[in-house]
Amino acid sequence: MKLNKTILTLALTALLASPLALAQQGQQQQAQPMPQEQEAPEVSDEQIASFVDAYVAVNDVREEYTARLQEAEDQEEAQALQMEANDAMTAAIEDSGLSVEEYQNVAMAVSADSDVREQVTQMLEERGVL
């Protein structure tokens, strides 16, 4: 039996509450003018490049697990997949050379600093991600 829509929605919401959610928020805010710049954390060019690597990898993991979650047959399987997805996203971030905390710090800078946001957007466009 397939998960009902409510459980599937909850499962996908939990999956997207991962480190990727902060990065996506930063990318979505790019299109909306910010009334006032927030104080952005200091990030290096190396951290930004690692963030882009991690963002691409995390997005791939998210896409894979979103599809797998849609096929989950019960809540227990969905929860196991969510945990597996979170572990895979954490591994993808760490494989890029950042800790989850550093990833989130860069994501906050993307959200708050238009120069950082522009740099990340350009790097993602060069990779064909955006």
pLDDT band at 1 (very low <50, low <70, confident <90, very high): very low
Handedness of CA 99, 84, 61, 115 (dihedral sign): negative
Residue type present at position 53: D
Under a CB-based contact definition with an 8 Å cutoff, are residues 121 and 31 in contact?
no
Could you state, in order of their start, the residue ranges of all structural domains in the chain? 5-28+45-126
Pick from 70, 56, 68, 47: nearest CA to 20:
56
Give CA–CA dist 66/18, Å, rounded. 13
pLDDT in tens, 25-78: 444 444 444 444 557 889 999 999 999 999 999 999 999 999 999 999 999 999
